[in-house]
């Protein structure tokens, strides 16, 4: 059977645009004489639609779009299109419409509804009762949706589902499994997907064609990587990762895996490479899908802002990025020079210098003894003065501000509300500080591979001690453990929700240090709940998937 893997980049709610993507892919598949076309899960509405699915008229509009698409589908072709349909029980079902011969012949309903991490599908959807198997072109095609196939195995979790849709497909005599997914990116997850696909195909004894969504949607990133594996678990064809495309593959008996370049490109890169591509895609789509074409980055001369600027340039091009230097009374000449060098290396379109000294002084005069501006108050005042200026620039230009905080800072509260947290998107908010340095070194070492004419991060920025320069000769390590230690502790407390004892044992940090970090982590939840959207790169990103209370009596 000739299969078209239609790896499209849908935008949630953009039915007109999404329908056009489907129509173009169906036309291309028709010209290529495909017999089966598979789109991603919820491809017409976009995924995840969250509560938008419940808005009056949304499901009906999706159905009307699917009916229009069906008119162009010949009897020789079966097309699987994702959409919500009205259901009994809960309001909707997460379904794939089966288009053939000009009509919608029926639907395959998602059976396993995930309720972990960012997923909350029980909120709206009624689970399907069994696997849908349809006869087509001499094959019995079982249609599964995402979790029906993965069953949480792609996130290293064990879920006790009452049924196994893959086993159901085999029991019904399926000769091919077609799975439509919208599985969000997590670093390292793609390799787990491939291993699971091979295992599922061998278990079922039939080929498996899996199509995953691609693109950024709010905090989530979908990396594509759609592919077909044989009944023996051999790789038969692969779509690229981090970009849309349609790939024709043949489901035929084979004795060995194919070796063409398209199958191997980006298949199992190192995690820093994966994360960089994800940050670029997530940043680009967040801006473009929210109606922005330009971005603003506050350039401090530090590693975080240098990396965010590099991501912005890779996502949008240098002419679409504005850098702003905002020196204070404590800014060193080295930091000013490093910010300038960062802008030069990246070739960004504009670099503005807006000193905050006068603003700082004016606020102190305005307070005039009513409140103290010493210590932390004064340090935060600087950050908030900068936050005011970047948002002023955003209002004046229509550009979106990219915040530069990393996961280590968000975890411990070393960010300032209404200051450096100002902005619309946090591209590196799910990267620990040590990962920020690792990615910066990667870009410099392999700059041409990532589209840079020369190393994009100033060497001095990488080599100097990190500092927010909030007071004379200040460094981050004046008040935080070394980042290698801090990040090791946080990986236990955040990624694993581990205990103090586990963090001590696994990080090598003292109990006193671990307790202090744990306290900072809990106390800073109120900041994280007000943060800009953080691109999700890990299984435990700060955001929708990590639902911790702000006020709580739990004590470490």
Active site residues: 41, 110, 146
Give, in order, the Cα–Cα distances in Å from 12 to each of 17, 123, 185, 286, 384.
10, 18, 17, 12, 34
Closest CA to 45 of 93, 100, 87, 4: 93
Distance CA 528, CA 530 (A): 5
Residue 91 DSSP code: S
Token pair in block for residue 342: 């960062």
DSSP 514-530: HHHHHHHHHHTHHHHTT
Q: Where are the alpha helices (DSSP H) in 186-302?
A: 189-204, 261-264, 271-289
Token pair in block for residue 184: 């969000």
Distance CA 56, CA 40 (A): 24
Count of alpha carbons within 13 Å of 27, Cβ hemisphere only? 6
By the 10 Å C-beta count (0-12 exposed, 13-18 middle, 19+ buried), 552 is classed as exposed
Give Cα 40 distance to the centre of its chain.
16
Closest CA to 308 of 390, 442, 402: 402
């Amino acid at each position: 059977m000739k299969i078209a893997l239609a790896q499209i980049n849908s935008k949630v709610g953009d039915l007109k645009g999404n329908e056009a993507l489907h129509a173009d892919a169906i036309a291309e598949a028709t010209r290529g004489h495909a017999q089966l076309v598979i789109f991603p899960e919820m491809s017409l509405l976009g995924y995840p639609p969250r509560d938008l699915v419940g808005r009056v008229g949304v499901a009906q509009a999706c159905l009307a779009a699917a009916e229009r698409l069906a008119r162009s589908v010949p009897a020789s072709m079966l097309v699987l299109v994702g959409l919500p349909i009205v259901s009994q029980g809960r309001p909707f079902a997460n379904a794939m419409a089966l288009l053939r011969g000009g009509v919608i012949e029926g639907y395959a309903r998602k059976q396993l509804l995930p309720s972990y991490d960012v997923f909350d599908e029980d909120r709206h959807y009624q689970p399907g009762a069994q696997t849908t198997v349809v006869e087509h072109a001499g094959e019995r095609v079982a249609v599964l949706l995402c979790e029906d196939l993965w069953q949480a195995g792609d996130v290293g979790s064990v879920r006790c589902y009452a049924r196994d849709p893959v086993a159901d497909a085999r029991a019904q005599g399926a000769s091919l499994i077609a799975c439509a997914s919208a599985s969000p990116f997590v670093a390292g997850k793609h390799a787990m997907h491939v291993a699971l696909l091979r295992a599922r195909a061998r278990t079922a004894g039939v080929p498996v064609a899996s199509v995953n969504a691609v693109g950024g949607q709010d905090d989530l990133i979908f990396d594509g990587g759609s592919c077909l594996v044989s009944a023996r678990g051999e790789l038969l064809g692969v779509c690229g990762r981090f970009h849309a495309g349609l790939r024709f593959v043949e489901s035929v008996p084979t004795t060995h895996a194919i070796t063409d370049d398209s199958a191997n490109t980006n298949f199992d890169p190192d995690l820093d490479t994966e994360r960089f591509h994800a940050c670029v895609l997530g940043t680009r789509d967040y801006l473009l899908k929210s109606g922005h074409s330009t971005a603003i980055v506050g350039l401090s001369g530090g590693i975080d802002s240098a990396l965010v600027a590099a991501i912005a340039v890779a996502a949008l091009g240098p002419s679409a990025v504005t850098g702003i230097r905002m020196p204070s009374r404590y800014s060193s000449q080295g930091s000013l020079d490093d910010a300038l060098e960062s802008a030069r290396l990246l070739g960004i379109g504009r670099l503005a210098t807006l000193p905050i000294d006068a603003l700082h002084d004016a606020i102190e005069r305005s307070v005039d003894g009513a409140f103290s501006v010493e210590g932390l108050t004064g340090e935060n005042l600087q950050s908030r003065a900068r936050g005011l200026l970047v948002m002023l620039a955003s209002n004046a230009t229509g550009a979106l501000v990219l915040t530069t905080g990393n996961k280590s800072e968000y975890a411990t509260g070393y960010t300032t509300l209404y200051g450096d947290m100002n902005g619309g998107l946090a591209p590196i908010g799910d990267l620990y500080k040590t990962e920020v340095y690792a990615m910066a070194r990667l870009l410099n070492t392999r700059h041409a591979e990532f589209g840079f004419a020369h190393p994009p991060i100033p060497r001095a920025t990488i080599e100097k001690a990190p500092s927010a320069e909030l007071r004379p000769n200040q460094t981050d390590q004046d008040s935080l453990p070394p980042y290698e230690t801090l990040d090791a502790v946080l990986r236990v407390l955040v990624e694993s929700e581990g205990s103090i004892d586990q963090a001590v044992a696994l990080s090598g940090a003292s109990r006193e240090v671990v307790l202090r970090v744990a306290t900072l982590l809990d106390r800073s939840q109120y900041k994280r709940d007000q943060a800009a959207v953080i691109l999700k790169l890990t299984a435990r990103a700060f955001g929708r998937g990590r639902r911790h209370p702000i006020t709580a009596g739990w004590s470490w």
